[in-house]
Amino acid sequence: IFERDFGDRESYRDLLAISIHRGVGAGIIANQQLYRGFHGRAGEIGRSLVVGQDGQLVKIEALCSEDAILTQIAQAKGLDNLRPAQLY
């Protein structure tokens, strides 16, 4: 909404912004209007299901969120805990 309201309104009519944090979400502007979808769920990318490495259905946020990626790195490095600031 910030980009729609304060950005260069002449350069686009549609916009998709993806946010990866504790979850994975999207902000969708279609025809210069916020698109919410059915029951406001249009931007809920992280709740979508995909087939994981073990063949089971898994939420995307369990694989691609900030927390999930930190956990994967910590496991690969043999660490008990990892914070984003430690990656710098």
- Tens digits of residue pLDDT in 67-79: 999 999 999 989 8
CATH code, domain with 56: 3.30.420.40
Buried-state track 24-54, b at ≥16 Cβ within 10 A, e below 16: bbebbbeeeeeeeeeeeebbbbbeeeeeeee
Residue 49 pLDDT grade (very low, low, confident, very high; cuts 50, 70, 90) = very high
Task: Report pTM.
Answer: 0.69
- Whether 87 is covered by a domain: the verdict is no
* Domain total in the chain: 1
Helix (H) or strand (E) holding 70: helix 66-77
Q: What is the pLDDT of residues 23-37, one digit of tens each?
A: 899 999 898 888 998
Q: If you average pLDDT over every residue of the chain, what do you get?
A: 87
Residue 46 token pair: 């992280």
The whole-angstrom separation of Cα 58 and Cα 42 is 19
Is 47 domain-assigned?
yes
Domain extent at residue 17 = 2-80
